[in-house]
């Protein structure tokens, strides 16, 4: 049987709790300077919770609880944070002040293995049932839905690409109405590029995961040996130990990502069996990119589980790295739909992603103003470069030369600066303004110490993915295309699950940007089966939300799957 001890202190003074074996031998470590040397211990200033397991005190006559009030707030304040914030005002310690603290101790029995089994198998059962239903539903839609109305014969696909000379490039740049046939002349190369995303995702997942696992397991071992619970930012009011892990429920709740990642890969394989390659019809297929998205979803679950073995200020990027990967893959997929020949290669995409993850790591470890300014300048330059590539259809130098020629011919008149493709220019301008607005908002939030660099960067990428999805869907409708029933269903399911999951995510039970003692002020009790807290529910809901998002992207252009590419507009 597990016993959980809840300690609540008021009015917010700093204290340390220690639970150690009862021994008849001296000394007993119950002083301010030596309380850390034995048993389980943690700092707190509002509330704290310690889980005591019977096996931790085998061979002893029991255990005793020591609560020591510190003479100042040094142990609980930012001076003991791995990431001291220059914007946080630090109070000077006042050792002469009298500290009066009222302590309330609550003791509650733990779940026991019956409760663990009920919670674990209940989640597995619901996830597997939902997975089977969704897999069967999509297999039925593949055979009786929108795509079932068309015949898919095996065709021999060859590239009909020849190098464009200067005159052809100039003509392409002057083209007011672009169609997909102009930008989909290399189907075999597109297929190879698509599977490059899969191979890169697998390689990065392998070499990124190995040191992550090694590091977090080492953290857990240190916690088990030393009893120092300030190393990891758990929700101590809902942290259930099992199998040597201090917080098993937050590890286990990531199983949804693995389940739905596997389901998505199976759906892609079934669709690939039905629809091979379309010759000069529909949107070019990108099965390798879809497989990469499924693998990224699985790896996100594994890395999130690793992060939750010992979440802390120094390993937050473990939980977010493959979130970056998934958001970028979504944006690449949307752009590749209508620009298959001029899309970024996997090498370029993952090189930029590597720089982003490196910048995120630097920002997390040293979130100073100089890092934020460097990121703002670099990101602004990236936005300009990407915008030029998109507007000039990958022929940036030729496009700029053309603009220079227009200025030399007409001078600085309105005709010289009038965009050829006005809709494309306006959308790029709007997207850039939105990104610059988010950068300014991030700096304002940082100046008020409201956000951290890692969370802001993730929010920036996710916002761009949402903006691009809305833009793509809106342009489809404006072009006279429709959203098929399958995409509508998955879009609505995705929106509903994202909104619900976001509600649980925003009500955080820990806060890694502050000290361990300050983070415990946010701790909350379990909300589901006495085993899962709100962050666990976020894990369980965001997994199907990502699946529905991926399925929405897969089905989005099924309405034009049999339309000639010369009739499909580019936007």
In DSSP notation, 514-568 reads S-HHHHGGG-----BTTTB-HHHHHHHHHHHHHHHHHHHHHHTTGGGTTSBGGGS
Q: Among the residues of 413-531, which ranges form H helices?
A: 422-447, 453-478, 485-506, 516-519
Establish if 163 belongs to a structural domain.
no
Mean pLDDT of the chain: 83
In 3-state terms the chain splits into helix, strand, coil percentages (rounded to 5) of 60, 10, 30
Specify the length of the chain in residues: 571
Find how far residue 150's CA is from the centre of its chain: 37
Find how far residue 564's CA is from the centre of its chain: 37
Whether the model clears a pTM of 0.85, i.e. scores above it, the answer is yes
Residue in this structure with the two tokens 């940082």, named with its chain if needed: 446
Q: Using one digit for the tens of pLDDT, what is the confidence trace for 480-505?
A: 889 999 999 999 999 999 999 999 99
Count how many domains the chain has: 2
The two three-digit tokens of residue 464, written as one number: 């761009």
Say yes or no: 196 and 276 in one domain.
yes
DSSP letter (8 states) at residue 190: H
Banded model confidence at residue 143, pLDDT cuts 50, 70, 90? confident
Give the percent of the chain with pLDDT over 90: 34
Say yes or no: 94 and 182 in one domain.
no
pLDDT score recorded for residue 341: 76
pLDDT score recorded for residue 16: 83
Say yes or no: 81 and 187 in one domain.
no
pLDDT score recorded for residue 416: 63
Q: Using one digit for the tens of pLDDT, what is the confidence trace for 504-546?
A: 998 888 888 888 888 888 899 999 998 999 999 999 999 999 9
Please say whether the beta carbons of 90 and 81 come within 8 A.
no
Q: Is the pLDDT of residue 306 over 90?
A: yes
Say yes or no: 94 and 127 in one domain.
no
E-strand ranges in 219-363 read none
Establish if 159 belongs to a structural domain.
no
Say yes or no: 353 and 498 in one domain.
yes
Establish if 400 belongs to a structural domain.
no
Please say whether the beta carbons of 58 and 21 come within 8 A.
no
The H or E element spanning position 513 is none
Q: Is the pLDDT of residue 263 over 90?
A: yes
Say yes or no: 329 and 478 in one domain.
yes
Q: Among the residues of 145-186, which ranges form H helices?
A: 166-173
Establish if 378 belongs to a structural domain.
no
pLDDT score recorded for residue 214: 92
Say yes or no: 78 and 127 in one domain.
no
Question: Going by C-beta distance under 8 Å and a sequence separation of 6 or more, which residues neighbour residue 409?
Answer: 416
pLDDT score recorded for residue 163: 60
Q: Using one digit for the tens of pLDDT, what is the confidence trace for 163-215?
A: 665 666 677 777 777 888 777 777 777 778 888 999 999 999 999 999 999 99
Say yes or no: 208 and 309 in one domain.
yes
98-102, 131-135, 543-547: least confidently modelled range: 98-102
Say yes or no: 102 and 196 in one domain.
no
Question: Going by C-beta distance under 8 Å and a sequence separation of 6 or more, which residues neighbour residue 302?
Answer: 209, 254, 257, 258
Establish if 101 belongs to a structural domain.
yes
Banded model confidence at residue 111, pLDDT cuts 50, 70, 90? confident
- For 105, the domain range is 2-112
Say yes or no: 103 and 186 in one domain.
no
Establish if 423 belongs to a structural domain.
no
Does 333 or 185 have the greater pLDDT score? 333
Say yes or no: 64 and 25 in one domain.
yes
Where is the domain boundary, 77, 112, 147?
112
Establish if 422 belongs to a structural domain.
no
Say yes or no: 75 and 127 in one domain.
no
């Amino acid at each position: 049987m597990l016993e959980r001890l809840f300690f609540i202190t008021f009015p917010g003074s700093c204290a340390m709790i220690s639970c150690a074996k009862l021994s008849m031998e001296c000394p007993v470590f119950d002083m301010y300077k030596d309380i850390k040397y034995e048993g389980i211990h943690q700092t707190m200033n509002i509330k704290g919770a310690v889980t005591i397991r019977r096996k931790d005190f085998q061979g002893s006559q029991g255990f005793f609880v020591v609560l020591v009030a510190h003479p100042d707030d040094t142990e609980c304040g930012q001076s003991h944070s791995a990431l001291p914030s220059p914007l946080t005002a630090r109070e000077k310690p006042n050792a002469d002040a009298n500290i009066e603290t009222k302590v309330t101790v609550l003791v509650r029995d733990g779940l026991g293995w019956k409760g663990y089994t009920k919670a674990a198998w209940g989640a597995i059962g619901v996830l597997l049932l939902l997975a089977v239903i969704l897999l069967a539903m999509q297999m039925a839609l593949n055979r009786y839905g929108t795509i079932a109305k068309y015949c898919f014969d095996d065709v021999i696909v060859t590239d009909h690409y020849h190098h464009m000379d200067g005159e052809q490039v100039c003509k392409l740049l002057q083209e007011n109405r672009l169609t997909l046939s102009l930008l989909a002349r290399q189907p075999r190369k597109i297929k190879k590029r698509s599977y490059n995303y899969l191979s890169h995702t697998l390689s990065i997942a392998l070499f990124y995961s190995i040191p992550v696992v090694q590091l977090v397991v080492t953290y857990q071992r240190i916690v088990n040996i030393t009893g120092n619970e300030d190393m990891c930012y758990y929700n101590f009011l809902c942290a259930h130990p099992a199998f040597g892990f201090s917080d098993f429920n937050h590890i286990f709740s990531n199983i949804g990502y693995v389940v739905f990642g596997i389901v998505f890969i199976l759906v892609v394989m079934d669709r690939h069996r039905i629809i091979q390659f379309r010759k000069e019809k529909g949107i070019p297929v990108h099965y390798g990119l879809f497989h990469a998205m499924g693998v990224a979803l699985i790896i996100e679950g594994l890395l999130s589980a690793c992060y939750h073995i010992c979440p802390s200020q120094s390993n937050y990027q473990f939980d977010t790295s493959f979130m970056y990967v998934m958001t970028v893959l979504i944006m690449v997929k949307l752009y590749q739909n209508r620009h298959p020949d001029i899309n970024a290669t996997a090498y370029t995409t993952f090189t930029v992603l590597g720089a982003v993850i490196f910048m995120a790591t630097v920002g997390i470890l040293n979130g100073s103003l100089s890092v934020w300014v460097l990121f703002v300048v670099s990101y602004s330059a990236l936005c300009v470069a990407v915008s030029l590539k998109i507007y000039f259809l990958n022929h940036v130098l030729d496009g700029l030369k053309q603009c220079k020629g227009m200025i030399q011919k007409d001078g600085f008149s309105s005709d010289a600066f009038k965009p050829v493709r006005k809709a494309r220019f306006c959308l790029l301008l709007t997207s850039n303004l939105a990104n610059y607005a988010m950068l300014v908002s991030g700096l304002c939030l940082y100046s008020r110490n409201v956000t951290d660099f890692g969370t802001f960067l993730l929010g920036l990428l996710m916002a761009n993915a949402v903006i691009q999805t809305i833009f793509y869907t809106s342009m489809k409708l404006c072009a006279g295309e429709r959203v098929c029933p399958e995409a509508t269903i998955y879009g609505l399911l995705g929106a509903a699950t994202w909104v619900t999951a976001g509600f649980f995510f925003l009500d955080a039970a820990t806060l890694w940007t502050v000290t361990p003692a300050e983070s415990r002020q946010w701790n909350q009790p379990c909300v589901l089966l006495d085993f899962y807290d709100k962050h666990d529910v976020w894990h369980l809901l965001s997994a199907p939300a990502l699946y529905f998002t991926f399925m929405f992207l897969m089905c989005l252009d099924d309405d034009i799957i049999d339309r000639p590419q010369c009739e499909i507009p580019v936007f």
